[in-house]
Structure 1
Amino acid sequence: MSEGGSPSELPKGWALATIGDLIESSGVFTDGDWVESKDQDPTGDVRLVQLADVGDGWFRNRSNRSLTLDKSRELNCTSLAPGDVLIARMPDPLGRACLYPGGNRPAVTVVDVCIVRPSGEVDPRWLMHFVNSPQFRERMRPYESGSTRKRISRRNLAKVELPVPPVEEQRRIVIALDEQLSRLDAAVEAVEQSRARSRQLWSSILHQMTEGALSRNVRRPVTWERTGEVAAVQGGIQKQARRRPVENKFSFLRVANVPRGRLTLEEVHEIELFEGELERYRLESGDLLVVEGNGSPDQIGRAASWRGEIENCVHQNHLIRVRPGMRLRPEFLELAWNSPKVAQQLKKVASSTSGLHTLSTAKVKSVEIPVPSIEEQDALLDAVQQWRTKQLVAEAAQQAAFVRAAGLRRSLLAEAFAGRLVPQHSADEHADALLARIRAERESAGSTKPRRRSARRAPAQRKREPDASPVSDAPPQLRADVPALATATQPTLDLEIPS
């Protein structure tokens, strides 16, 4: 079946439809709810499912946000049911879908997540898999909006056509996909564990380097000194309206350009400099760029060396420049700075009573770093390089495995929704009959395709329409029309933080 998907190209017994065509009068096809920060209550009984909880085929218990039952009713929130298909209307990736597995308390979701509760004759696992397929992503692309960050509205999501197989074939597709994807997921998990072990090994190597244990040519213990005693520490340039690049513009590094231990220079901004500033702020090869602040304490003070990649380049004030003196090799400084022992110091000096985590030039100067002799640094760098070469080979193999797994997943889904993964049976009822029954049920109930109220209305103006399910204080129950396999085969990463 081509991406065009005309009816003549559909597999035998299949029919084209939209998500709305699969919803009975009692079903749901709606956005989540506009729940603001002021509406939330950490002690509430109703869980607020976040956009980050919706994975590409898996549900993640990542957030611990809640609101009270009274507030959810006041806001007219739509209650989630086990087996609901959740579709993310924002990346990454856009349009990813999973099944809501249920839980021990009521749950609602945010406005950037679309809730789909199809007819009992439609397998929700089939619908989830199709939304995650290359075919659906390709069909969805013309309806996306936004420039820097793509999104799709529910109105446009409803325009995307789906090739619907007969009900029995839907089930055969799901069984085949569940079997193949579960094996693929197990393989990916093994690679993830391998990558975690590689990172732990690298952290151990850096620790041994700072202790001088990697080379017999190092006198132990290694001397540690304050950074300000062996390097020049300086802040950067604050971005302001008057610095819009016009006449005297130069390349300008930001925090986004400085991951730990490397630079990403695909997108480098520019800034206007004034007289004398280039000489003062220009980066030199060997300078260490230290990130001043971050929302995650583990990322505070991450750093990477500048090696003169761009001529006449400066940096913003959220990056602190550490220029090594004569007693430090720049390569040794970068590795030592990103080592566990220095990272612990950075986390400690960056913390504050307000909960913010930031560094200053004074704090950076106070951080102690190992300072063996230049000859000893060279010996340690040689030893580290041997380990680094092996680690880079392992990382390349791991990345290749991830790429291959992603390709296999796309291929499996593409084959499934082109009608080539499982056999077609002539005895299967045509999908047109299924769609006709759903349409007749809606008409007999006096209902049209589900529409969505405006979630942005003030609470007093919100009216519950027939497609939305009011929040109940009863524990969620698995819908009778959802096979037990719906929650058994979907990966659920339980990362919820205990309250």
Structure 2
Amino acid sequence: MKSDINLRHLTQLPELPKNWAHSSVDELCIIEPVGNKKLAQKQYVQKGKYPVIDQGADFIGGYTDNNDLVIEVPENVAFIIFGDHSRAFKLVDFNFVPGADGVKVLRPVCVLPKWAYYFFKAIHLPNKGYARHFQYLKEAYLPLPPLSAQKLIVDKIEELFSHIDAGVEGLKQTKVKLQQYRQSVLKDAVTGKLTESWREKNADKLEPADKLLERILQERRANWKAEQLTTFEEKSKVPKDDKWKEKYVEPKEATVLNDLPMSWVSTITDQVFSFVTSGSRGWAKYYSDDGPLFLRVGNLFHYNVELDLRKLQRVSPPEGSEGSRTKVQEGDNLISITADVGMVGYVPRDFEESYINQHVALARPVQRVMGKYLSWLLSGDFAKEQFKALQKGATKAGLGLDDIRSISFGLPSLLEQEQIVQEIESKVAGIDRLKKETELKILHASKLKSSILADAFSGKLVENIEADETAEQLLEKIQEEKQLLEEKAKLAKKKSTTGIKKMDKQPIINVLKKAKKALSVDELFEQAGFQNDVSPEGIEAFYQELKIVTDNENVTVTPVILKEKKQGDKFEYKEVKENEAG
């Protein structure tokens, strides 16, 4: 049995406004046949003659130059595109190519297309995830106002929406400016501008940066020596002499940067990182429901260093050096090196046991206390621009471990690094707070639009007015027009008799006179020779002539009724005798 939430799209208004009528989507639309006129997403191009309309969030998914796939939208007509999986609606009044998956093309009949579009969006369709939803849309309830009221409703909706859209555009600009401000904060941080006043006030307390760098380089070499001696010990070996020390690889020379504060010194990441590596391939076989974290690109951000732990993967890591090599420690910098490169994460104190995958690099500072400063350094445009330059001319996309070691920057004292981190995080917290407030306002605007559509749906948005034509009368017109469109579509599917069975074209009135019985539309179309031309123009010419014929006083039109529903008409010529006329 269906739950209540799955029945909301069927719920009728308890009380209709005057001159309105109960109806449904199926009653007001016909489904335009698409057939094989569909384009797979992988075949989209950035520019082309025809837009591709699919069920995605973007109004236009892509473009194509394929003429054979075009759906032509008649003049003064608009189609409503429905995403069978996404439940998205798009109003289209131009020729287009449908996307390959989940696209339904609806043609509103005798109602304002914009009114139908807005009212469709107000329907409470059940959310079945990626399942198909068209079955629910077809049967969905719609209250139908007269045409005059439809226009008033559309005008009011668009008036209100225009005010909301103007406000949302302002909010989006605020988000852009906040992002720009975040980037400028990070730039000022690594060029010394952010702490310029603080540095002047605390100049007597700061260790010269060149002295700090000297200590870092000494510690880097000492750490390497300690690692080598540990390796000897693990292999139960004792070095015979000091030649093993010659294997130490000196770090790269730093590029001298201009415009650094006097107390800073130019350096390069290779000098301040003692260990740079990336995760191993093939760890999917170690995936587990519990165990340590497995950090991936999705756990990193741009312009932020906090790890994103909303989506987690856990592993049971292998024993041995491969596991220990990719295990993170406090102070480590994590950098995405494939796909969306240059995202950064910082490993904080007391972080749970974690490992990295092959798409993430781990860079370990010589001095752990510098980890946070280096993470913020790498997260901003100062480092991103260098990463981008290093990628130019590379044989493959992404960053190499040597690229991580090649970022030039200015090194301040440890005390100033600490101050820089504090000021960055204070400003970023304010930016994030404003960003969240802005996003909530944008969300509220979306809800406000939904509220406006709900009021329109229930007849509360505009005052009810007297109408020359009621919705019930409009429904009758809709049924007649739908029948006509369906008949035309049926005739269009007929194969031309050209070269198969040539029939001379003759006036429809002559066909009826010769028949001496009632004929259907199909029979008239064929016997009058119109089947030789099943183009839209040929079909339209047939109906124009049929309309003239039905005005003849000798022609009677009899509806064909099946199960209390009109299925079509039959036409018959009956000579009116002089004594019967008048």
TM-score (norm 2): 0.64
Contact map agreement 1:32 1:78 (CA 8 A) in 2 = no
User: Equivalent of 2:111, from 108, 122, 127?
Assistant: 122
Contact map agreement 1:287 1:306 (CA 8 A) in 2 = yes
Larger Rg: 2
Q: How far did residue 385 of structure 1 move?
A: 3.9
User: Equivalent of 1:79, from 72, 75, 80?
Assistant: 72
How has the CA–CA distance of structure 1 residues 202 and 181 changed in structure 2, closer, same or farther, with 3 Å as cutoff? Answer: same
What aligned pairs does 1:473-484 form with structure 2 within 5 A after superposition?
A: none
Q: How far did residue 3 of structure 1 move?
A: 6.0
User: Equivalent of 1:230, from 272, 283, 289?
Assistant: 272
Equivalent residue, structure 2, for 1:480? none
What aligned pairs does 1:91-130 form with structure 2 within 5 A after superposition?
A: 94-100=86-92, 102=94, 106-111=95-100, 112-119=102-109, 121-130=110-119
What aligned pairs does 1:24-43 form with structure 2 within 5 A after superposition?
A: 28=32, 33-36=37-40
2:54 and 2:9 mapped to 1: Cα distance?
32
Q: Percent of aligned positions with the same letter in both sequences?
A: 22
What aligned pairs does 1:14-25 form with structure 2 within 5 A after superposition?
A: 14-23=20-29
Equivalent residue, structure 2, for 1:68? 66
What aligned pairs does 1:149-168 form with structure 2 within 5 A after superposition?
A: 150-152=130-132, 154-168=134-148
Q: How far did residue 238 of structure 1 move?
A: 2.5
Q: How far did residue 446 of structure 1 move?
A: 5.5
1:399 and 1:79 mapped to 2: Cα distance?
39
Amino acid aligned to 2:28 = L
**Are residue 202 (structure 1) and residue 246 (structure 2) matched?**
no
1:20 and 1:352 mapped to 2: Cα distance?
58
**Are residue 344 (structure 1) and residue 337 (structure 2) matched?**
no
More deviation, 201-210/39-48: 39-48
Q: How far did residue 32 of structure 1 move?
A: 8.6
2:487 and 2:349 mapped to 1: Cα distance?
67
- Structure 1 unaligned regions, length at least 5: 454-468, 472-499
Q: How far did residue 38 of structure 1 move?
A: 7.9
Q: How far did residue 307 of structure 1 move?
A: 2.4
**Are residue 422 (structure 1) and residue 415 (structure 2) matched?**
no
For residues 29-76 of structure 1, the C-alpha deviation after alignment (integer angstroms, 9 at most, x for no partner) is: 658943247866778533334544x55xxx45x74x31232xxx2x5x
User: Equivalent of 1:139, from 115, 118, 125?
Assistant: 125
Structure ranking higher in helix proportion? 2
Equivalent residue, structure 2, for 1:314? 355
- What SS does the aligned partner of 1:400 have? helix
How has the CA–CA distance of structure 1 residues 435 and 330 changed in structure 2, closer, same or farther, with 3 Å as cutoff? Answer: farther
Contact map agreement 2:337 2:398 (CA 8 A) in 1 = yes
For residues 336-383 of structure 1, the C-alpha deviation after alignment (integer angstroms, 9 at most, x for no partner) is: 1111121111122234567x6311222212233432221221232343
- What SS does the aligned partner of 1:158 have? helix
Specify which structure has the bigger relative contact order, considering alpha-carbon pairs within 8 angstroms and separated by 6 or more residues. 1
How has the CA–CA distance of structure 1 residues 96 and 32 changed in structure 2, closer, same or farther, with 3 Å as cutoff? Answer: farther
Equivalent residue, structure 2, for 1:283? 328
Amino acid aligned to 1:274 = P
What aligned pairs does 1:372-387 form with structure 2 within 5 A after superposition?
A: 372-387=412-427
How has the CA–CA distance of structure 1 residues 224 and 167 changed in structure 2, closer, same or farther, with 3 Å as cutoff? Answer: farther
Equivalent residue, structure 2, for 1:169? 149
For residues 148-188 of structure 1, the C-alpha deviation after alignment (integer angstroms, 9 at most, x for no partner) is: xx253545542333333332222221111100010000001
Contact map agreement 1:29 1:116 (CA 8 A) in 2 = no
- What SS does the aligned partner of 1:409 have? helix
- Structure 2 unaligned regions, length at least 5: 1-6, 201-259, 494-533, 537-582
Q: How far did residue 449 of structure 1 move?
A: 10
1:29 and 1:9 mapped to 2: Cα distance?
36
Equivalent residue, structure 1, for 2:547? none
Q: How far did residue 19 of structure 1 move?
A: 3.0
TM-score (norm 1): 0.73
Amino acid aligned to 2:113 = P
